[in-house]
Structure 1
Amino acid sequence: MKVYVTGSTGILGRRLVDYLSDRGHDIVGLVRDEDGTQVVESRGGTPRYGDVLDPKTLTHAIPDDIDVLVHAATAIPGSTKPTDEEWARNDRVRLDGMRNLLDAAPDGVKQVLFPSVVWVARQPDGSRFDETAERHPDRGTQSAATTEDLLRERATADDFDATILRCGWFYAPDTRDTKLWGERLLDGDLPIVGGGILGRKDAALSFVHADDAAAAFVEAVENEASGIYHVVDDEPVTGAAFFGTFSERLDAPEPSRIPAWMARFFVGKVGADMLSSPMPTTNEKTKRELGWEPEYATYREGLQQVVEAWESDGTLAELESEPAANSRDARHNVST
């Protein structure tokens, strides 16, 4: 099939270009500069210049014979304490980007895929949930919920399959967050955020290795899937266990703790709530209907892969040699 990918240079997008190309599909990736061109070409795709927020560029950027569209573009804030303006830009990339993409799409598109997030359906009582659960969007997930709704409405009107893959929290050797976590754990400067007055209430979170997330999209494309799927690993885990295990793998100091109410002053409400509000979900439907299995079944195997990759490519030595102050100054500039 011929697949068009926005966000083709991002954590998910570049894997999609790589994996789908390897499976024999013809991949076109939307890029904005020469660096993006090189990323897409190096992974077997064909770059096309354009911007999801500039509708007139999409008219020429989307080939007429596309079968599948994947809107993987995001603008997740990279600063430690994001402003509302930063979140608003991500909202526009998600929602306006999807609307512009659908408006510019040629006739004959069979399937449109959107990477949403599982915590859009996080339950107020912290209970386990699946794809049928009622959504409870907040500031960080409202645009994901609205984009889900837009996609399903347009799928009915325009006769294509809408495929929503709600992903758990990404981690991988090359993600911005994972690198930042590694830096701060090695610095002894990444506290565990917990609920309650003293921060002792741990929340079960759902993670997924970015490699496994991309593999789920490949299965969704090749199975011509339609509907909502949760893409997470096999075992929800508390932040305390995840970051505690990560620190052990890195031979870093044991993380301290901080209550969520205090963490809001440093990382903002969205970030503090992400770490302290439970989001335990299941991948049973995705496994059953798509035939997908995560290579990294739990965070233990995934974090081991992260550290081994860092040891192999020199990232770990670089992180260990960086002075803590310089590492903190560079946090806003960690590459996506």
Structure 2
Amino acid sequence: MRVFVAGGAGVLGRRLVPQLVARGHQVTATTTGTAKLGLLARLGAEAVVMDGLDASSVGEAVAQARPDVIVHQMTAISGKPDIKHFDRWFATTNRLRTEGTDHLLAAAEAIGVSDFVAQSYASWNGIREGGWVKTEEDPLDPTSTGKGAEAIRHLEAAVVGAGGTVLRYGAFYGPGATDDQVELVRKRQYPVVGNGRGHSSWVHLDDAASATVLAVEHRAKGVFNIVDDEPAPAGEWLPYLAACAGAKPPMRVPTWLARPLAGRTAVAMMTEGRGFSNAKAKRELGWQLRYPSWRQGFKEELA
């Protein structure tokens, strides 16, 4: 198929494009400037510059590529993690998940493309009631009122409403995905908050990419959690990550102190977050993970 990957030069796009090419697909991949055109070409894609926040730029790029399917991987997450000021840190990504999604869907409709796959998120943001592990039938946390949560809700509603596919990826790790977090861990600036019982789900970039290829090839519809087999509490995965990174164990900070220092998002993630189940993706897409657990993946990536 002709596959249009918006955001092909991102950390996931760089793992996705080669997998699509290896499966025989013709890939057009976008980047926001000329600096990464050569990288995308080396990965086997036809590389184009596109501004995901400019409707004309998006419409022109999609029309010229004439794709059979559009894959939306546009984000702008870079620099030191700033969970306390989450909306500020994610400001451009939030726009890409709202305005950018709308531009891509409009471009798809203009040329009659019905297959559309978009990146969403599922790590600790499931509804904070009941069990610790959520399925696609469970809503994302409805009490989250920040712009990041609003952007994800917009993306999912728009894509599902258009008959497309939403892939709720767990927290990424792999080449280039967690360097900033690991640096904070090594500096002991990434503490366990409160009881550390809040669960997260992780996924290696290569497994996220392989699931995306399957979603494209199966012309899947609806929502899929793309996470590994082991949702885990922060009190388990964070000390293990520190050990794999050769760092001292993370400090522990009480909730009352963490709230003004790190913000509500960090406290919710560490104490109340919910993980996710990948049973549907395995069952309906035939997805098999190279890294079934973050335990194996962290160890190999940080060896």
For 1:149, the aligned partner's letter is A
Q: Which residue of 1 aligns with 2:6?
A: 6
Q: Which residue of 2 aligns with 1:208?
A: 203
What is the CA distance between 1:285 and its match in structure 2? Answer: 0.7
Q: Which residue of 2 aligns with 1:232?
A: 227
1:218 aligns with 2:219: no
For 1:214, the aligned partner's letter is A
Structure 2 SS opposite 1:230:
strand
Structure 2 SS opposite 1:149:
helix
Q: Which residue of 1 aligns with 2:98?
A: 95
For 2:160, the aligned partner's letter is R
More moved, 91-100 vs 61-70: 61-70
* Counterparts of 2:118 and 2:185, CA distance in 1: 32
1:303 aligns with 2:301: no
Map 1:43-192 to 2 at 5 A: 43-62=43-62, 63=64, 65-76=66-77, 78-79=79-80, 80=82, 81-82=84-85, 84-105=87-108, 106-119=110-123, 122-127=126-131, 128-137=133-142, 138=144, 139=146, 140-155=148-163, 162-175=164-177, 178-192=178-192
Structure 2 SS opposite 1:252:
coil
Q: Which residue of 2 aligns with 1:331?
A: none
* Counterparts of 2:124 and 2:70, CA distance in 1: 22
Structure 1's 135 and 221: CA in aligned 2 closer, same or farther, altered over 3 A? Answer: same
* Counterparts of 1:85 and 1:190, CA distance in 2: 19
- If the length of structure 2 is used for normalisation, what is the TM-score? 0.90
For 1:278, the aligned partner's letter is G
For 2:168, the aligned partner's letter is R
Cα RMSD after superposing both structures: 2.0
* Counterparts of 2:199 and 2:124, CA distance in 1: 15
For 1:287, the aligned partner's letter is K
What is the CA distance between 1:287 and its match in structure 2? Answer: 0.3
1:17 aligns with 2:17: yes
- Contact residue 196 and residue 270 of structure 2 kept, 8 A: no
1:38 aligns with 2:46: no
Structure 1's 186 and 89: CA in aligned 2 closer, same or farther, altered over 3 A? Answer: closer
What is the CA distance between 1:119 and its match in structure 2? Answer: 4.9
* Counterparts of 2:6 and 2:257, CA distance in 1: 37
- Contact residue 77 and residue 90 of structure 1 kept, 8 A: no
* Counterparts of 1:100 and 1:201, CA distance in 2: 40
Structure 2 SS opposite 1:141:
helix
More moved, 1-10 vs 111-120: 111-120
* Counterparts of 2:264 and 2:244, CA distance in 1: 29
Cα deviation code 1:273-318 (max 9, x no counterpart): 233322122111100110101111111111012113xxxxxxxxxx
Cα deviation code 1:179-220 (max 9, x no counterpart): 123223323332112xxxxx1242222111121111100111
* Counterparts of 1:287 and 1:31, CA distance in 2: 31
- Contact residue 202 and residue 228 of structure 2 kept, 8 A: yes
Bigger Rg over Cα: 1
Residue segments in structure 2 that go unaligned for 5+ positions in a row: none
- Contact residue 59 and residue 104 of structure 2 kept, 8 A: no
What is the CA distance between 1:52 and its match in structure 2? Answer: 1.0
Cα deviation code 1:227-280 (max 9, x no counterpart): 111111011111121121122223321111113443343443334323332212
* Counterparts of 1:250 and 1:124, CA distance in 2: 30
What is the CA distance between 1:85 and its match in structure 2? Answer: 4.0
More moved, 255-264 vs 51-60: 255-264
Structure 1's 102 and 82: CA in aligned 2 closer, same or farther, altered over 3 A? Answer: same
* Counterparts of 1:201 and 1:244, CA distance in 2: 11
Structure 2 SS opposite 1:113:
strand
What is the CA distance between 1:134 and its match in structure 2? Answer: 2.7
Give identity over the alignment, percent.
Answer: 33
Structure 1's 100 and 122: CA in aligned 2 closer, same or farther, altered over 3 A? Answer: same
* Counterparts of 2:300 and 2:19, CA distance in 1: 19
Structure 1's 35 and 271: CA in aligned 2 closer, same or farther, altered over 3 A? Answer: farther
For 1:113, the aligned partner's letter is V
- Contact residue 119 and residue 141 of structure 1 kept, 8 A: no
* Counterparts of 2:57 and 2:34, CA distance in 1: 16
* Counterparts of 1:250 and 1:149, CA distance in 2: 38
- If the length of structure 1 is used for normalisation, what is the TM-score? 0.81
- Contact residue 77 and residue 87 of structure 1 kept, 8 A: no
Structure 2 SS opposite 1:124:
coil
Cα deviation code 1:18-49 (max 9, x no counterpart): 21111111111111212221221121111111
Q: Which residue of 2 aligns with 1:292?
A: 287
